[in-house]
A and B are shown apart, each in its own frame.
Chain A
Amino acid sequence: MESEFPFLMGSAADWHKFLDEFRSFGGRAENVMQRKGAFGLGLFPIDSAKPIELRVPDQLLVPTSNVELQDSEIVIKDDDNYPDGYSDWFRRYQSSYSWGAEGRQNTLTIEEGLKALPEEALLLLKRSGLYNAEKRFPEEDTEQELLLRFIQTRCINRKGNRVIMPMIELLNHSPSADTYDMKGDGISVDGLYDGEILVKYSNSDPIRRFINYGFNAPERLGFSLPLKLKHREQNVAIRGGNGAAPNKPCNVEIKNNTIIIEQPLLASVQSPKMPRTLFIQGLQNINGINANELFDQIHQRNSRIYIELIRILYKVEGDTADKLCCACLNQLTALSHRYGQRDDLLNKAANSSKID
C-alpha cells in the first residue's frame, strides 16, 4: 500500500503516533505533515481546505541552556520540570525529525562551505562583521560547535529565555509570512495554508539571513554593516546589524567625539520612505551633521562592500560562493528600497522637539 505521505520522514503511522504523544503532553499539531518541499523538509497541511494548528505550550518549550548532546543525540539535561515521558519524546523527536533528520547535516554543510571560501572573501566578511570563521566554527569541538549553530537557528526569545520550540521549529521561513503567535500560553501558528506552512522567523535582511541560517530569502528590510566614516569632519561609527525595533528612530549617542548610530534601518520594501525618515529623526538633535547626506554615505559604503564581495565571489566556483553571491545581490536589492521621506512625521518630530 502506498504511503499516505510519500515524502514523509518515516512512516505516516510513526508520524501520527508521534503527534498523538505530543498532544498527550498538552501540545497541538493538527492537520500537519512533514515532507520535502522547495525549502527542504517542512510542514504542510494534510488537507489544505482545513486550517492547521500548531501550539507548543510554555511548559513544553525547552531552554537552550537545558539541552546537550549525548551519543550524538540532542537531549534535555534536566527533565524535572517536564511531563513524564516528555524528555524521551523530545530525544526521539530531535533524532527523527529535526537534528537527526537534516539539521546536523545542513548545519555542517553551511559551516564547511563558508569556511572554505577563499581568504579574500573571508577577510572581507570578517572586516564587515558578518562572519568570523575562527570564532564561529574553529573545529576544536566540531559536534558541540554544530549543536550551538543549530540551536541558534532554531531558538526564539520567550519571556527572557532562549527556547527551542519542538514541532514549530520544523516550519520554514518566508519574509512575507506572519510570524509566530506568542500572545497566549506558549507559541502557536494556525490558519489556512495552500502550500507549505511558513512563518517569518524574525526581522532580518538578506545577507544576515543567509549568514545566520544558510538560506537565501528576499527579505524586506535592509540594515547596515558596521562602519566607521568621516562626515563633515566628524567621526561617525555605525553599529551594524538587524535592529530590534526597525520601525523606531535609531538610537544615537556621542562617545569620545564619535557619533555612534545603532543599527539604522537603511531600506524597507513595504515602506521605502521610512528608513530615511527614521534616520533623520534619530539624528535630529545632533549638531554639525547633514542627516540626509550621511544616510546616503552609509548606503554608498554598504553597496561598495557588497559589490567588492560579489567581485571576489565571481572568481570562485562552488555552491556556497554562488549562494553568498545571491545573498549579496538580494541585499543590494533590499537596500534599493528607499526613496523619499515622510515629511508629515518629520514636521511633527521637529515641532515636538521645539516644544520640548
Chain B
Amino acid sequence: MMTNPALDSITTNNQWDKLIADYQSFGGRINNIVQRRGALGLGLFPIDQSKPIELSAPDELLVPVDQVKLENDHIIIAEPDRFPDGYATWYKTFQQCFSWGADGYKSILQFETALRTLPDDIQNLLQPFCNVPIRQRLPSENKNNIFKRFIKTRQINYKGKKVLMPMIELVNHSAFQKSWNMNDDGIHIKGNFEDEILVRYSMADPIFRFMQYGFSCREKTAFSMDLQVLHYGYKVIVNGGVNNAPFDPLNIVSSGEQIIIHSPLLGSTANQRLPRSLFKKALSMVKGIKPDELFDQIIYINRLQVIKILKSLSKVNNPTKVDLQEVCLDQLILLSLNS
C-alpha cells in the first residue's frame, strides 16, 4: 500500500490525469476513479459514489514478472517489443511515480528491516508461519533483493503465469470484498463502492497476510502453521500455510504411521462448522485416530504459538510491534471460529 504524502491531492495532479489518459489509450479502462489517501493509505476511490466504477487491465497490458527488471533503480519492462508501442515508457512512469518509486521500495525496506530486527525468539516463533526464514527473506538491503520482495507482494497468477497488474495493483485489500474478476480478456474490477474501492487480494489469514504484505488486516479464515504432533501412534505432519481452495476437501496423505495434512482450514467467519467438518471428513478414512481430537490438538498448538509471540512482543520495541500484536489477536479470534 502506498503512502506518499506528495500524492495526497492526486485529484489535481496532472500526472495522474495523464497516466489515466495514456492507460486508456493502450486499451486499459479506468472510469469514475480517483486516487487519494484513505484509512489504508493511498487507495482508489469512486469519484461519484452513485455510479459504478470500472477498472480493467487487459490481457496484453499484464506484465509477466519475468518481463520486469530493475535498471538504475527503476522498474522497467525487459522486452518492450512484446507490448504496445509506448507502453514500456508508460509502465516505467507508473512504477516510478505511483508504485515502486512512490512508496513500494521504501515500505518493503522498512518492513523487512523491522522484521529482521525482531529478537531471535520472536523470529523463531514466527518461523512456522513463513515459507522462508525471516533472515533469508531479504539477505541484504541490496535494491535487487528489495525488488524481488516487492514483486512477490504484487504478483498474481493469471493463465498459469505470475503477472503484475498495472493500475489495479493500486487497489487496497479487504477480506470482506470480492476478488478480482479474471477472464480471458484480463483482470477487472467493476461495481458500486460507497467508499474506497477494495478487493480481496487472495485467501489468507492475518499472520500470513502480514508476513506476505506487511500490513495487519481482518481476515475471514485461519490456517495452520507448520507443525508436527504425535497422535495415537501416528506422526502427524501439518504443512501449514494458506489453502487457496479452503472449502474444498482437505488434502491428506497417509502412509504407514505417518499422516501429512496440507494447509488445513482451522477457522472461518463464514461457516464456523466447516473447518472441523472438512477435517473430520478427510481423516475419517484413517484408522486408529480421533479426528476431532487431532483437530483440537492442531488448534491448541497454533494458539499456544500465537500467544507466545504476543508474550514475547510485550518485551520488545520494534516498528512492527503494534501491527504484529493486532495480527496475532485477530489470528486467535479466527482460531476459535470452529464449532
Least distance between B312 CB and chain A CB atoms (Å): 10
User: Are B336 and A336 interface neighbours, CB within 8 A?
Assistant: no
Interface residue? A338 (CB, 8 A): yes
- Does the CB pair A293–B339 fall under 8 Å? yes
Inter-subunit contact B337/A300 (CB<8 Å): yes
A332, CB-defined interface residue at 8 Å:
yes
Query: Restricting to B273-324, which residues have a CB under 8 Å from any CB of A?
Result: 290, 292-293, 296-297, 299-300, 303-304, 307, 310-311, 314, 322
Identity of the chain A residue whose Cβ is nearest the Cβ of B298 in the assembled complex:
A339
Interface of B is mostly: helix
Of the stretches A78-86, A207-215, A278-286, A302-310, the one at the interface is A302-310
B333: A residues at CB distance < 8 A: 303-304, 307
Q: Quick check: is A329 within 8 A (CB to CB) of the other chain?
A: yes
* Complex CA distance for A303 and B330, rounded to whole angstroms: 11
Task: Convert A325-336 into 0s and 1s, putting 1 for each residue whose CB lies closer than 8 angstroms to a CB of B.
Answer: 110010011001
With contacts A339-B297, A341-B293 known, is A326 near B336, CB below 8 A? no
Contact with B along A71-93 (1 / 0, CB 8 A): 00000000000000000000000
Check: B63 CB closer than 8 A to any chain A CB. Answer: no
Report yes or no: B314 in contact with A311, Cβ–Cβ below 8 A. no
Q: Which residues on the A side are within 8 Å of B296 (C-beta)? A: 338-340
Interchain CB contact under 8 A, B314 and A322: yes
Which of chain B's residues has its CB closest to A335's CB?
A: B303
Asked if A299 and B336 sit within 8 Å, CB to CB, the answer is yes
Q: Closest residue of chain B to A294, judged by CB?
A: B339
A314-B325, A326-B314, A339-B297 as given contacts; A307 in contact with B332, CB under 8 Å: yes
> Could you say which residues of chain B place their CB within 8 Å of the CB of A329?
307, 310-311, 314
Instruction: Report A-chain residues with C-beta under 8 Å of the C-beta of B216.
Output: none
CA distance A341 to B292 in the complex (A): 9
When distances are taken between beta carbons in the complex, the residues of chain A under 8 Å from B326 are: 311
Residue A194, interface by CB 8 Å: no
| Bound CA–CA A112/B193 (angstroms) | 49
Is the Cβ of A340 less than 8 Å from the Cβ of B290? yes
> Chain A nearest CB: distance from B95 CB in Å?
37
Q: Is the CB of A296 within 8 A of B307?
A: no
Can you name the residue of chain B whose Cβ is closest to the Cβ of A337? B300
The reply on A243 being an interface residue by CB < 8 A is no
Of all chain A residues, which has the CB nearest B310? Answer: A329
Complex Cα–Cα for A307 and B310 (A): 11
The closest CB in chain B to the CB of A300 belongs to: B336
User: Chain B interface residue count: which class?
Assistant: 20 to 34
Interface flags for B183-195 (1: CB within 8 Å of A; 0: not) read: 0000000000000
B329 near A307 with CB under 8 A, answer yes
Q: Are B303 and A339 neighbours in the complex by a CB distance under 8 Å?
A: no
**Interface contact B339-A336, CB-CB below 8 Å:** no
Which among A297, A314, A339 has the highest number of chain B CB atoms within 10 Å?
Answer: A339
| Known pairs A300-B336, A307-B329, A322-B314; A340 contacts B304 (CB<8 A) | no
Chain A residues with CB below 8 A from B290, complex form: 340
In the assembled complex, how far is the CB of residue B327 from the closest CB belonging to chain A, in whole angstroms?
12
Which residues of the partner chain B approach A332 to less than 8 Å between Cβ atoms? 303, 307, 332
Q: Inside 8 A of B329's CB, which chain A residues have their CB? A: 307, 310-311
User: Could you say which residues of chain B place their CB within 8 Å of the CB of A246?
Assistant: none
Q: How far is the CA of A299 from the CA of B337 in the complex (A)?
A: 10
Q: Are B336 and A339 in contact (CB under 8 A)?
A: no
Asked whether any CB of chain B lies closer than 8 Å to the CB of A272, the reply is yes
Q: Which residues of B contact A333 (CB under 8 A)?
A: 304, 307
Query: Among residues 179 to 195 in chain A, which have CB atoms less than 8 Å away from a CB atom of chain B?
Result: none
Q: B300 to A272, Cβ gap below 8 A?
A: yes
CB of A266 to closest CB in B, whole Å: 12
Give Cα A310–Cα B329 distance, bound, in whole angstroms.
9
With both chains docked as a complex, state the minimum distance between the C-beta of A280 and any C-beta of chain B, in angstroms: 12
| Contact B339–A297 (Cβ < 8 Å) | yes
Contacts of A337 in B (CB 8 A): 300
Determine the residue in chain B with the shortest Cβ distance to A336: B303
A314 vs B297: C-alpha distance when bound (angstroms)? 29
Min CB distance B216 to A, Å, is 12
Q: Which of these, B300, B311, B322, B325, contacts A339 with CB under 8 Å? A: B300
How far does the alpha carbon of A326 sit from the alpha carbon of B322 in the complex, in Å? 16
Report chain B residues within 8 Å CB of A272. Answer: 300
Complex CA gap A303/B304 in Å reads 13
The answer to whether A303 touches B293, judged by C-beta atoms less than 8 angstroms apart, is no
Query: Which residues of chain B have C-beta atoms less than 8 A from A314's C-beta?
Result: 322, 325
Bound Cα distance from A136 to B141, whole angstroms:
56
Q: Does B338 contact A (CB under 8 A)?
A: yes
Q: Which A residue's beta carbon lies closest to that of B276?
A: A296
Contact A303 B339 (CB under 8 A): no
Q: How does the 8 Å CB contact mask read for A319-356 relative to B, with 1 for contact and 0 for none?
A: 00010011001001100111111000000000000000
Q: Is the CB of B307 within 8 A of A336?
A: yes
Q: State in angstroms the CA–CA spacing of A297 and B336 once bound together.
A: 9
Point out the residues of chain B lying under 8 angstroms from A304, CB to CB: 333, 336
A300 partner, pick from B293, B300, B311, B339, beta carbons under 8 A: B339
- Chain A residues contacting B332 (CB-CB under 8 Å) are 303, 307, 332
Other A-B contacts than A300-B339, A333-B304, A340-B292, 6 sampled, CB-CB below 8 A, are A296-B336, A296-B339, A303-B332, A304-B336, A329-B310, A338-B300
Q: A interface vs B, CB < 8 Å? A: 272-273, 293, 296-297, 299-300, 303-304, 307, 310-311, 314, 322, 325-326, 329, 332-333, 336-341
Which 7 pairs across A and B sit closest by C-beta, in order of nearness?
A: A340-B293, A339-B296, A336-B303, A296-B339, A300-B336, A303-B336, A293-B339
* Chain B interface (Cβ < 8 Å from any Cβ of A): 290, 292-293, 296-297, 299-300, 303-304, 307, 310-311, 314, 322, 325-326, 329, 332-333, 336-339
